Structure 1
Amino acid sequence: MDSFRIRVVLADDHPGMIAGVRHELSSVSTIELVGTAGDSTALMALLAEVPCDVVVSDYAMPGGEVGDGVALFGLMRRRFPDVKLVVLTMLDNPAVLHTLVTQGVQCIVSKSDAITHLVPAIHAARTQGRYFSPSIERVVSGVDWNRRSRNPDGVLSQREAEVVRLFASGLTVNEIAERLHRSKKTISTQKAKAMEKLGVERDVDLFRYAMENGLVAPASSGGVDPAVE
């Protein structure tokens, strides 16, 4: 039985969530929690040091040097291609979930569902299967996968949407350039292209688009949840 133990790393910026997941997984004989991280920087460092089969990661973890959301998951896929992923999130926006699924994420658990759903999700991820917790399944099953979004020329590229998300979350162009390790000119160009695709001319309209399409969470939620494409 020990040979089947799935080594799991948990990444979440809320200590209470880490404690809850740790407690839940401690009684599962087939799962071993080998490490935890509070942001993307710590997660990437941990994966470089500790053998891991599955990462359970929050979607929005502000403060890390390598970003969060799809940008982080893409980096994980490139650097650690054998590590599987379970996304744990409060987000239930169809556009965001559509992006995750189209990016190849097949195991998603909502924090609004029972934490017990993590166990089958981890097992499914390890075997390259699919698992959506009930809240996620309800949203995903209602998504029109052929819908083109509000963008008349097609959905935003991953990089354009990431720039829009960070801009709408309150960062300046210079701060976005520093965070994403791109030039200020590149960030300005990507922001301008996104606005052109969306048919908006004012920053306030870009903010509104980001809010309505799930690129950032409402201000009252106290957090930011990203989405791309």
Structure 2
Amino acid sequence: MRQSERKRAIQLPVKVVLADDHPVLLVGVEQALQAFPDIKVVACVRQSTDLIHVLQNTRCDALVTDLAMPGGQYGDGLPLIVYLRRHFPTLPVVVLTMLENVALLKRLRELGVLGIVSKSDALSHVGLAVLYTTRGSEYLGPAVAASLDATRPGSDRNAAEAMLSTRELEVVRLLVSGMTPTGIAALLKRSIKTISTQKKAAMRKLGLAHDAQLFQYAQHNGLLNLSPHMHMSEIADDQASAP
């Protein structure tokens, strides 16, 4: 469906599904969206199994989802976004996340996510993101926009973290979740040597000397909240299509 066709198809109020594993935040987002008379929350879920079930059986115009939402059948993080984009390609997605890693933010945009809002932003930005994305326009919350702007030429920010590739970021995420390099290699269908090389590259870019520092970095940046459980086929397809 073309974006112009989607605009005509949507009738007010815009029907939204919310997904977040934190009940307090879920209530907070729902209350924030109630301030928008053109938005109506039709369902709230806390993991990917219920999310997919709702999307298959409930008419909605947009999805607002947390990126880190462990425990569901369809995983979380990028693999869940890949699944959503593949099976619900016309559904506008707004990602609500605590992560501001530029490589991750760029990958979300490459996958077709039109709305990205940081949990450090005011929740009113979620409503604005819903209204923008259902009209085919991109919306980035202030913290997300600042993170992306800071890596442009002329920025004074230390951009080491921003230089991590999506694959390096995924390896870091799985390592700090407790998986071994052998397990990661099997999951991502790469060689152990490749996993080791990507780990070393990530640590070099981040200026880290040993695994303890890598764990501290992951804890500080919220990567420990992401679940390592995901569909191997989804990851393999995503990696195959990655540049």
TM-score category, normalised to shorter length: 0.7 to 0.9
- Residue 62 (structure 2) pairs with residue 61 (structure 1): no
Gaps of 5+ in 2: 1-9, 154-158, 228-238
The one of 10, 25, 30 equivalent to 2:18 is 10
Residue identity over aligned pairs, in percent, reads 33
The one of 18, 21, 31 equivalent to 2:29 is 21
1:96 corresponding residue in structure 2: 104
The one of 55, 60, 80 equivalent to 1:52 is 60
Q: How does 1:90-169 map to 2 (within 5 A)?
A: 90-144=98-152, 156=165, 158=167, 161-169=169-177
Q: Residues of 2 paired with 1:51 and 1:176: CA distance? A: 37
SS for the counterpart of 1:4 is: coil
Residue type of the alignment partner of 2:198: A
1:82 corresponding residue in structure 2: 90
Q: Displacement of 1:12 after TM fit?
A: 0.4
Residue type of the alignment partner of 1:121: A
Q: Displacement of 1:198 after TM fit?
A: 5.2
2:235 corresponding residue in structure 1: none
Residue type of the alignment partner of 1:191: I
**TM-score between the two structures when normalised by the length of structure 1:** 0.74
- For the Cα contact (< 8 Å) 1:195–1:206, is it kept in 2? no
Residue type of the alignment partner of 1:218: H
SS for the counterpart of 1:3 is: coil
**TM-score between the two structures when normalised by the length of structure 2:** 0.70
Gaps of 5+ in 1: none
1:28-86 per-position Cα deviation (integer Å, ceiling 9, x unaligned): 22111111111122212221111222110111112223221111111100011111111
1:175-209 per-position Cα deviation (integer Å, ceiling 9, x unaligned): 768xxxx6697575663453476588xxx846756
2:7 corresponding residue in structure 1: none
1:35 corresponding residue in structure 2: 43
Instruction: State the superposition RMSD in angstroms.
Output: 3.7
User: Measured at CA, do residues 12 and 144 of structure 1 come closer, stay the same or move farther in structure 2, by a change above 3 Å?
Assistant: same
